[in-house]
């Protein structure tokens, strides 16, 4: 994204015109669209207040979405009534300028707006207009145009702003601008190596900067050492992309012998994909609840479940990526584990290239579907390394 586009985005976000009520930023995930918006909103201009929420993690609940926004703004709200939220917002927020109350609400993962009832969502996006001396501007982010996701909201006045995925030359320029110490030969080699796994400039910058530090510390001379560079890039990328160091691209290594070296994010994501592929969607609330695990299955229930499984001849089915991510997040909470710094879609791409999952809905990139291809035996071994009892999370446990 060049300087002119950045200036245009800032003008859209921070201009004082009430005519601009909703700016929708869209582009491929590798464009870094959401991160760009967050960086712009970190330094608001002209006394604007900025707050962020996420359609995905509120999971179709307008009540949860409003509560999270209210907490970020320093007040409490109850229920899913948008008019109550904006009334409290008007009276309880400490505004920089009481005579000019201006708020930007950034809502990420706008593709998940399809999970919300249309009437309350329309009220949420419209009801602030009843307060004349307050300006509210919505900023949303998703892979495609806003109208692609909710036909009932197509009447809203939305300004679309496209952020394109940077070209290879642009990515090199951006990385060099931020970290000019990286050798040009090393940078070219690193980008060629990593581009099949990741196109996000921010992620590439972090990986290549870490790899360059390793390379500098171990390099023996001025001559470029390709083998050493490849090793350093492999180690740095394994931490952020979930790529197992030492494997060649597209080469399917035996998981039974390598799963313990996989990053936690990759293992948890594999188990989440396995559960989503082998469980019906309606079972998720039963198996992935906060207090799940207190009531163990009896042997009789196990036998009945096995009979049902054999009768239905179930096989793994493709599951929506959003559902897999929700199960992944729940498994982390249930085991009180943390896994930071990973781009989950990049981990999925790595698992796909290793032949452990398959992406079966490539014609609709906004709502990809993933099928887990690992065997039950392998899933048991991976879950064992995470101290998870896999049978407690499967509809038809064996």
Which pLDDT score is estimated for 342? 63
Which pLDDT score is estimated for 249? 40
Residues 155 and 172 reside in one and the same domain: no
Q: Is residue 248 part of a domain?
A: no
Q: Is residue 123 part of a domain?
A: yes
Lowest mean pLDDT among 33-47, 128-142, 191-205: 191-205
Residues 276 and 369 reside in one and the same domain: yes
User: Per-residue confidence at 106, pLDDT binned at 50, 70, 90?
Assistant: very high
User: Per-residue confidence at 294, pLDDT binned at 50, 70, 90?
Assistant: very low
Residues 383 and 288 reside in one and the same domain: yes
Q: Is residue 94 part of a domain?
A: yes
Residue finishing a domain among 128, 162, 196? 162
Which pLDDT score is estimated for 221? 79
Residues 102 and 133 reside in one and the same domain: yes
Residue 312 has pLDDT above 50, yes or no: no
- The pLDDT of 113-118, averaged and rounded, is 83
User: Per-residue confidence at 229, pLDDT binned at 50, 70, 90?
Assistant: very high
Residue finishing a domain among 162, 178, 205? 162
Domain that holds residue 90: 3-162
Residue 239 has pLDDT above 70, yes or no: no
- The pLDDT of 20-44, averaged and rounded, is 88
Residues 85 and 234 reside in one and the same domain: no
- The pLDDT of 142-171, averaged and rounded, is 80
User: Per-residue confidence at 295, pLDDT binned at 50, 70, 90?
Assistant: very low
Average pLDDT, the chain: 81
Residue 144 has pLDDT above 80, yes or no: yes
State how far the Cα of 13 lies from the Cα of 210, in Å rounded to an integer: 34
- The pLDDT of 197-210, averaged and rounded, is 83
- The pLDDT of 312-319, averaged and rounded, is 70
Residues 151 and 10 reside in one and the same domain: yes
Which pLDDT score is estimated for 308? 55
Q: Is residue 192 part of a domain?
A: yes
- The pLDDT of 290-301, averaged and rounded, is 50
Residue 306 has pLDDT above 60, yes or no: no
Q: Is residue 60 part of a domain?
A: yes
Which pLDDT score is estimated for 222? 79
Residue 240 has pLDDT above 70, yes or no: no
Residues 346 and 237 reside in one and the same domain: no
Residues 273 and 342 reside in one and the same domain: yes
Residues 55 and 192 reside in one and the same domain: no
Residue finishing a domain among 119, 139, 162? 162
Residue 216 has pLDDT above 80, yes or no: yes
Which pLDDT score is estimated for 208? 92
Lowest mean pLDDT among 72-76, 120-124, 197-201, 253-257: 253-257
Q: How many domains does the chain have?
A: 3
Residues 82 and 213 reside in one and the same domain: no
Nearest to 123 by CA among 163, 85, 95: 85
Supply the CATH number for residue 119's domain: 3.40.50.300
Residues 272 and 378 reside in one and the same domain: yes
Q: For residues 12 and 33, is the Cβ–Cβ distance under 8 A? A: no
Residues 13 and 158 reside in one and the same domain: yes
User: What is the pTM for the complete model shown?
Assistant: 0.57
């Amino acid at each position: 994204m060049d300087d002119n586009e950045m200036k245009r985005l800032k003008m859209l976000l921070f201009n004082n015109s009430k005519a601009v009520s909703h700016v929708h930023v869209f582009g491929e995930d590798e464009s870094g669209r959401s991160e760009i918006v967050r960086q712009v909103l970190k330094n608001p201009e002209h006394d604007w207040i900025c707050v962020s929420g996420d359609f995905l993690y509120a999971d179709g609940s307008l009540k949860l979405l409003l509560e999270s926004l209210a907490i970020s703004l320093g007040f409490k709200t109850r229920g899913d009534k948008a008019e109550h939220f904006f009334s409290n917002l008007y009276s309880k927020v400490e505004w920089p300028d009481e005579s000019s109350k201006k708020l930007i609400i950034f809502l990420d993962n706008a593709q998940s707006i399809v999970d919300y009832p249309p009437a309350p969502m329309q009220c949420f996006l419209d009801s602030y207009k009843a307060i004349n001396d307050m300006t509210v501007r919505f900023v949303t982010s998703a892979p495609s145009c806003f109208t692609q996701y909710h036909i009932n909201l197509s009447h809203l006045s939305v300004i679309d702003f496209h952020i394109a995925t940077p070209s290879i030359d642009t990515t090199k320029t951006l990385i060099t601008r931020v970290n000019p110490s990286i050798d040009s030969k090393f940078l070219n080699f690193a980008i060629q190596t990593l581009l099949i796994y990741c196109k996000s400039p921010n992620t590439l910058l972090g990986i290549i900067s870490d790899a360059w530090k390793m390379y500098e510390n171990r390099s023996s001379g001025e001559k470029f050492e390709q083998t050493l560079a490849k090793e350093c890039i492999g180690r740095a990328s394994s931490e952020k992309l979930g790529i197992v160091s030492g494997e060649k691209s597209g080469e399917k290594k035996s998981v039974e012998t390598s799963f313990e070296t996989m990053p936690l994010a990759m293992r948890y994501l594999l188990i989440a994909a396995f559960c989503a592929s082998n469980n019906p969607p309606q079972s998720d609330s039963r198996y992935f609840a906060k207090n799940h695990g207190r009531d163990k299955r009896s042997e009789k229930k196990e036998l009945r479940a096995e009979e049902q499984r054999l009768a239905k001849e179930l096989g793994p089915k493709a599951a929506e990526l959003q559902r897999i991510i929700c199960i992944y997040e729940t498994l982390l909470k249930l085991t009180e584990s943390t896994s930071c710094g990973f781009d989950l879609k990049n981990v999925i791409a790595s698992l796909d290239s290793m032949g452990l999952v398959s992406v079966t809905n490539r014609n609709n990139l906004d709502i990809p579907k993933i099928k887990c291809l690992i065997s039950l035996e392998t899933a048991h071994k991976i879950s064992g390394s995470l101290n998870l009892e896999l049978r407690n999370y499967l509809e038809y446990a064996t």
